[in-house]
């Protein structure tokens, strides 16, 4: 998790890392798709190599020769995204929902997306008004309320329920990742948390992290899913299974959970201490690196939940390992950053013949897409 | 289907297929009676045959027993209306406006109805049957009262363990129970007695369970009993008999479907002669036999018969599909969702049938269906739904012409767009007089 200041620094190197954004694919493709966007160069599509080991970097508009047949949903989604030049994470999410809304992922996803779009539009307006009236300090950049409302909507954070996010962060895990605004050696000055002038729903719960968690505080669904699945991932994937790739996959997922916890903590702390919001410039895409991968790790968790019910366990494990590999991919990857890069995927000879692999994969991916849309509606 | 008019009355009758006979060939019925007892097909034999041989009378169920059982089970059944509504909405035409977020069970209404019926049967059979009812059953079924009392506890266990023993859903993916749950269920069955165990073994293999998991588990449980010889023998006998059983079923389907002409139907069939899980079970059993070199000859015979039956059924389904008058206006959610599920069922049938014989046998039919969806302008589907239907029916390597047109309407990729400066430069250059030369 990069700090607020680091994430706003303009890229100086010519080989800039680029912004990686997960795409909710419905193609019959194991693992998943990720789009990498560069400020100068054209975007790249990153997919697990369908022919064997490793990751392919493909041009996003010519997908016909990469060993899988992309679905119409993917073609349209990618085309919509690469038509915009400065792409934000929000744009990708909106395009995915719009593509599902026009029916490319089936009628059921369409109905769901329509519902979520209604709810999200209303919630965005309410959140924006709430933020403007209570949190946004004088002197913040003018597009901050819209941006912050969008991010809160995407992460599912409710400003009245911050205690559920801040509670575990104070204990052990992501303490070191917190943006350190105070001096390094000195203990952090104890600050009074921001108290909203009024809180409409629950006056007794005002987001005070020091009081300890209120037990019925609602954890945001995406965070709750990650905590639940990655916390129990060692039961789903015994580390000695399938060589060591499952163990590496486990490590990547735990790193990701740490980063996402830190993302949520930073956002919640911004709301608790809103004068920090003045330093935030939405045009520089703060937190974009983690926000772009949040949906990907959510899909990882949904897939890991299904490992026990999958038709072939070796394929299921290779599947989520491939997704973890795509999500953890960097241009400057050393071996320790990219585990399992040369682990070959199991061939189709181990797959039960009576189940059509492509049909099963595309049905599974569509089901996961629906589950992800439902996560936006606030259902875990 | 003709269900709604006589729904309440037909709940008490046996099957509604009779008046449809001259319109089109009646498939397997979807009345409550059919849904309730269809999973027991490996066990049910004609009553005369059951009485004649000792072996049948200890391993099978006489068919005349089912009718009095149904009457007893459906007596004062509180959820009868719900079951009927679920069955009526099976093909998606009469589905009420449902909320897929709130009620996922409406996604597969017929399956849901079957589960409700099995739960009802388990609940009724778990209580003792009054003697007067028993006498009446015996008279109706033409059996002795002691025969019925001998059969009922075993039947009760079968219905109680329906999640393990009966096929579920329309997916070819095997139901994988966790090992401890599987062992516990098998122990409960074996604890009821050797008759329940004998009944359960063919069902266990014929339901879509992973044979590599359930067969060793069943043998493990069998070996832990005192009369383990008989229990293990029941396992082995069931494995040997499951091939001829499926073969007989496929042969009967071949006879039923031979020479049948497809006629226009109101909608797609809700239930088939051979469902996707059945065919997947057949293929996985054949693969198991070949891999382990057991019962190879019956497996080979089963393969040839099953391949023919699957092909015949698939051709009939495709021919009927091409004759259906789909709505011209835009489709309601329920119909569209049922249609998408039906497309996936066709695709799975073709894939399994291709595994039994050759994939090329099925490719043309699917292509014809996809072509019809893409070309028929009167179909009430939007362009997007057409593309998606074609995509779910056939494996498109290249985008279809519709999709290419759609993509051409979208704004072009930003990186291919010429920059403003370049456009200006080229415009200016084009305006110079020497450019003409």
* Residues B133 and B24 placed together within one structural domain of the fold: yes
A61, A112, A358 member nearest B413 (Cβ): A61
Q: Which of A116-130, B102-116, B145-159, B374-388 has the lowest mean pLDDT?
A: B102-116
Mutating which of A236, A355, A364 best tests the B interface, going by the most B Cβ atoms within 10 A?
A: A355
Using pLDDT thresholds of 50, 70 and 90, give the confidence band for residue B191: very high
Whether residue A108 lies inside any domain: the answer is: yes
Contact A377 B101 (CB under 8 A): yes
Whether residue B428 lies inside any domain: the answer is: no
pLDDT at A138: 77
Q: Whole-angstrom Cα distance, residue B21 to residue B253?
A: 16
* Residues B155 and B260 placed together within one structural domain of the fold: no
pLDDT at A377: 76
The arithmetic mean of pLDDT across residues A22-27, rounded, is: 93
pLDDT at B11: 52
Q: Whole-angstrom Cα distance, residue B33 to residue B74?
A: 10
Question: Exposure pattern of B335-352 as b/e (b: 16+ CB <10 Å)?
Answer: bbbbbbbbbbbbbbbbbb
Which one has a higher pLDDT value, A69 or A190?
Answer: A69
The arithmetic mean of pLDDT across residues B289-305, rounded, is: 95
Q: Which of A232-246, B130-144, B162-176 has the lowest mean pLDDT?
A: A232-246
Summarised one tens digit per residue, pLDDT across range B332-345 is 888 888 899 999 99
Using pLDDT thresholds of 50, 70 and 90, give the confidence band for residue B432: low
Burial of B150 (0-12, 13-18, 19+ CB in 10 A): middle
- A97: containing domain: 16-177+203-337
* Residues B153 and B261 placed together within one structural domain of the fold: no
Using pLDDT thresholds of 50, 70 and 90, give the confidence band for residue A74: very high
Sequential DSSP letters for A308-331: GGSS-HHHHHHHHHHHHHHHT--T
In chain A, the number of structural domains is 1
The arithmetic mean of pLDDT across residues B118-142, rounded, is: 92
pLDDT at A18: 83
Phi/psi at A71 (nearest 5 deg)?
-75, 160
Contact A112 B407 (CB under 8 A): no
Which one has a higher pLDDT value, A344 or B3?
Answer: A344
Q: How many CA atoms lie within 13 A of B57 on its CB side?
A: 14
Q: Whole-angstrom Cα distance, residue B90 to residue B106?
A: 9
Whether residue A198 lies inside any domain: the answer is: no
B333, B348, B413 member nearest A107 (Cβ): B333
End-to-end CA distance of chain A: 24
**Considering only CB atoms, which chain A residues are within 8 Å of B385?**
103, 107
B176, B382, B412 member nearest A309 (Cβ): B176
Whether residue A11 lies inside any domain: the answer is: no
Mutating which of A72, A367, A373 best tests the B interface, going by the most B Cβ atoms within 10 A?
A: A72
Using pLDDT thresholds of 50, 70 and 90, give the confidence band for residue A182: very low
Burial of A148 (0-12, 13-18, 19+ CB in 10 A): buried
**Other C-beta atoms within 10 Å of B108: how many?**
20
Whether residue B351 lies inside any domain: the answer is: yes
* Residues B151 and B267 placed together within one structural domain of the fold: no
Min Cα distance B411 → chain A (Å) is: 6
DSSP B175: B
Tell me if chain A has a CB within 8 Å of the CB of B415: yes
pLDDT at A80: 93
Whether residue B201 lies inside any domain: the answer is: no
Tell me if A55 sits within 8 A of A323, measured CB to CB: no
**Considering only CB atoms, which chain B residues are within 8 Å of A67?**
none
The arithmetic mean of pLDDT across residues B308-324, rounded, is: 94
Whether residue A193 lies inside any domain: the answer is: no
pLDDT at B426: 61
Which tokens hold the place of A170? 């104070």
pLDDT at A163: 77
Tell me if chain B has a CB within 8 Å of the CB of A58: no
Last residue within a domain, chosen from B160, B178, B211: B160
Between the ranges B46-60, B273-287, B402-416, where is the mean pLDDT highest?
A: B273-287
Which one has a higher pLDDT value, A80 or A62?
Answer: A80
Whether residue A187 lies inside any domain: the answer is: no
Whether residue B230 lies inside any domain: the answer is: no
Q: Is the pLDDT assigned to residue B1 strictly greater than 50? A: no
Which tokens hold the place of A334? 């050393």
CB proximity under 8 Å: B 142-181 to A: 172-174, 176, 178
Whether residue B110 lies inside any domain: the answer is: yes
Q: Which of A174-183, A335-344, B267-276, B421-430 has the lowest mean pLDDT?
A: A174-183
Which one has a higher pLDDT value, A206 or B426?
Answer: B426
The arithmetic mean of pLDDT across residues B313-321, rounded, is: 94
Mutating which of B277, B353, B384 best tests the A interface, going by the most A Cβ atoms within 10 A?
A: B384
Q: Whole-angstrom Cα distance, residue A296 to residue A256?
A: 10
Last residue within a domain, chosen from B131, B160, B189: B160
Whether residue B144 lies inside any domain: the answer is: yes
pLDDT at B330: 87
In chain B, the number of structural domains is 2
Min Cα distance B174 → chain A (Å) is: 7
The arithmetic mean of pLDDT across residues A351-365, rounded, is: 91
* Three-state secondary-structure class, residue A122: helix
Last residue within a domain, chosen from B109, B143, B160: B160
**Considering only CB atoms, which chain B residues are within 8 Å of A374?**
101
Which tokens hold the place of B186? 């098998």
| Residue A340 Rama label (left phi>0; alpha psi -120 to 50; beta) | left
Q: Whole-angstrom Cα distance, residue A317 to residue A325?
A: 12
Tell me if A327 sits within 8 A of A297, measured CB to CB: yes
Contact B173 A360 (CB under 8 A): yes
Q: Is the pLDDT assigned to residue A8 strictly greater than 50? A: no
Q: Whole-angstrom Cα distance, residue B357 to residue B360?
A: 9
Tell me if chain B has a CB within 8 Å of the CB of A175: no
The arithmetic mean of pLDDT across residues B150-165, rounded, is: 92
Q: Which residues pair with A44 in a beta bridge?
A: A36
Phi/psi at A55 (nearest 5 deg)?
-125, 140
Whether residue B192 lies inside any domain: the answer is: no
- B374: containing domain: 256-409
Tell me if chain A has a CB within 8 Å of the CB of B291: no
Whether residue B283 lies inside any domain: the answer is: yes
Sheet bearing A19-23, strands edge to edge:
A19-23, A33-37, A44-48, A55-58
Inter-chain contacts counted by CB atoms under 8 A, chains A and B: 106
Q: Whole-angstrom Cα distance, residue B247 to residue B236?
A: 18
Give the C-alpha distances (Å, rounded to integers) separating B373 from A108, B377, B386.
Answer: 20, 8, 6
CB proximity under 8 Å: A 60-79 to B: 60-61, 64, 69, 71-72, 75-76, 79
- Enumerate residues 6+ apart whose C-beta is below 8 A from B235: B201, B215, B218, B219, B222
Summarised one tens digit per residue, pLDDT across range B28-82 is 888 888 889 999 999 999 999 999 988 888 899 999 999 999 999 988 888 888 8
Contact B347 A76 (CB under 8 A): no
Q: Are strands A19-23 and A33-37 parallel, antiparallel or unpaired?
A: antiparallel
Using pLDDT thresholds of 50, 70 and 90, give the confidence band for residue A283: confident
Summarised one tens digit per residue, pLDDT across range A95-142 is 999 999 999 999 989 988 998 888 888 989 999 998 888 877 777 888
Contact B337 A112 (CB under 8 A): no
* Residues B149 and B260 placed together within one structural domain of the fold: no
With CA atoms as reference, report the closest residue to B318 among B362, B356, B273: B362
Which tokens hold the place of A243? 């060589």
Tell me if chain B has a CB within 8 Å of the CB of A232: no
Q: Which residues pair with A46 in a beta bridge?
A: A34, A57
Q: Which of A236-240, A363-367, B123-127 has the lowest mean pLDDT?
A: A236-240
User: What percent of chain B has pLDDT above 90?
Assistant: 56
Q: Is the pLDDT assigned to residue A178 strictly greater than 60? A: no
Between the ranges A118-127, A225-234, B309-318, where is the mean pLDDT highest?
A: B309-318
Nearest CA in chain B to A358: B395
pLDDT at B378: 84
Sequential DSSP letters for B336-353: HHHHHHHHHHHHHHHHHH
Burial of B162 (0-12, 13-18, 19+ CB in 10 A): buried
Q: Which residues pair with A57 in a beta bridge?
A: A46
Which tokens hold the place of B13? 């009758």
């Amino acid at each position: 998790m990069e700090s607020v200041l680091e994430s706003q620094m303009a890229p100086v190197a010519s080989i800039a890392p680029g912004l990686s954004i997960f795409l909710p694919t419905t193609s019959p493709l194991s693992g998943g798709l990720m789009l990498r966007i560069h400020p100068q160069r054209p975007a790249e599509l990153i997919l697990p190599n369908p022919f064997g080991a490793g990751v392919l970097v493909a041009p996003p508009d010519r997908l016909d020769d990469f060993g899988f047949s992309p679905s119409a949903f993917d073609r349209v989604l990618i085309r919509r995204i690469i038509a915009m030049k400065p792409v934000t994470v929000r744009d990708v999410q909106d395009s995915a929902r719009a593509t599902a809304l026009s029916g490319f992922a089936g009628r059921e996803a369409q109905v769901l997306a329509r519902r979520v779009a209604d709810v999200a539009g209303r919630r965005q307006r309410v959140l924006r008004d709430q933020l403007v009236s209570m949190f946004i300090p004088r002197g913040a950049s003018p597009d901050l309320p819209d941006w912050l409302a969008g991010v809160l909507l995407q992460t599912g954070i409710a400003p009245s329920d911050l205690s559920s996010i801040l509670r575990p962060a104070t204990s052990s895990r992501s303490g070191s990742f917190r943006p350190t605004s105070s001096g390094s050696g000195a203990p952090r000055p104890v600050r009074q948390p921001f108290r909203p002038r009024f809180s409409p729903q629950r006056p007794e719960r005002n987001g005070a992290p020091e009081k300890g968690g209120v037990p019925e505080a609602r954890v945001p669904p995406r965070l709750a899913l990650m905590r639940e699945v990655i916390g129990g991932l060692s039961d789903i994937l015994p580390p000695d299974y399938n060589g060591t790739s499952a163990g590496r996959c486990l490590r990547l997922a735990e790193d990701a959970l740490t980063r996402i916890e830190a993302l949520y903590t930073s956002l919640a702390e911004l709301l608790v201490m809103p004068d920090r919001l003045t330093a935030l410039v939405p045009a520089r895409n703060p937190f974009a690196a983690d926000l772009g991968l949040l949906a990907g790790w959510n899909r990882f968790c949904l897939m890991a939940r299904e490992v026990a019910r999958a038709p072939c366990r070796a394929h299921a494990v290779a599947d989520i390992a491939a997704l973890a590999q795509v999500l953890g991919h960097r241009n400057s990857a050393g071996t320790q950053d990219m585990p399992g890069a040369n682990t070959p995927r199991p061939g189709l000879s181990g797959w039960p013949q009576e189940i059509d692999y492509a049909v099963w994969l595309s049905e599974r991916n569509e089901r996961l897409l629906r589950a992800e849309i439902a996560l936006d509606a606030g259902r875990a | 289907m003709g269900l709604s008019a006589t729904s309440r009355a037909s709940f008490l009758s046996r099957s509604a297929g009779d008046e449809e006979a001259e319109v089109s060939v009646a498939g397997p019925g979807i009345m409550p009676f059919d849904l309730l007892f269809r999973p027991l097909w490996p066990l049910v034999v004609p009553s005369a045959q059951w009485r004649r041989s000792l072996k049948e009378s200890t391993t099978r169920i006489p068919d005349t027993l089912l009718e009095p059982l149904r009457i007893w089970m459906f007596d004062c059944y509180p959820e009868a209306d719900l079951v009927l509504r679920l069955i009526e909405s099976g093909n998606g035409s009469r589905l009420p406006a449902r909320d897929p977020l709130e009620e996922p069970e409406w996604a597969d209404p017929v399956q849901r109805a079957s589960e409700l019926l099995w739960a009802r049967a388990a609940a009724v059979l778990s209580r003792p049957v009054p003697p007067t009812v028993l006498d009446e059953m015996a008279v109706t079924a033409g059996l002795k009262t002691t025969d019925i009392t001998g059969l009922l506890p075993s039947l009760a266990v079968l219905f109680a363990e329906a999640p393990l023993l009966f096929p579920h859903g329309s997916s070819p993916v095997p139901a994988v129970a966790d090992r401890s749950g599987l062992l516990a269920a098998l122990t409960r069955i074996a604890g009821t007695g050797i008759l329940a165990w004998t009944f359960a073994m063919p069902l266990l293999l014929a339901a879509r369970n992973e044979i590599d998991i359930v067969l060793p588990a069943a043998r493990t449980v069998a070996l832990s009993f005192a009369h383990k010889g008989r229990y293990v023998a029941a396992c082995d006998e069931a494995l040997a008999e499951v091939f001829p059983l499926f073969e007989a079923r496929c042969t009967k389907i071949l006879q039923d479907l031979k020479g049948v002409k497809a006629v226009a139907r109101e909608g797609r069939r809700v239930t088939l002669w051979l469902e996707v899980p059945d065919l997947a079970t057949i293929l996985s059993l054949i693969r198991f036999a070949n891999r382990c070199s057991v019962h190879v000859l019956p497996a080979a015979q089963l393969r040839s018969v099953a391949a023919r039956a699957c092909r015949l059924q698939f051709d009939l389904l495709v021919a009927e599909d091409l004759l259906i008058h789909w709505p011209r206006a835009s489709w309601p959610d329920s119909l569209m969702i049922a249609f998408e599920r039906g497309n996936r069922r066709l695709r799975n049938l073709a894939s399994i049938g291709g595994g039994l014989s050759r994939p090329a046998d099925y490719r043309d039919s699917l292509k014809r269906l996809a072509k019809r969806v893409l070309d028929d302008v009167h179909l009430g589907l939007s362009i997007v739904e057409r593309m998606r239907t074609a995509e779910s029916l056939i494996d498109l390597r290249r985008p279809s012409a519709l999709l290419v047109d759609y993509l051409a309407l979208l704004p072009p990729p930003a990186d291919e767009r010429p920059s403003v400066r370049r456009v200006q430069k080229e415009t200016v250059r084009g305006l110079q007089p020497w450019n003409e030369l």
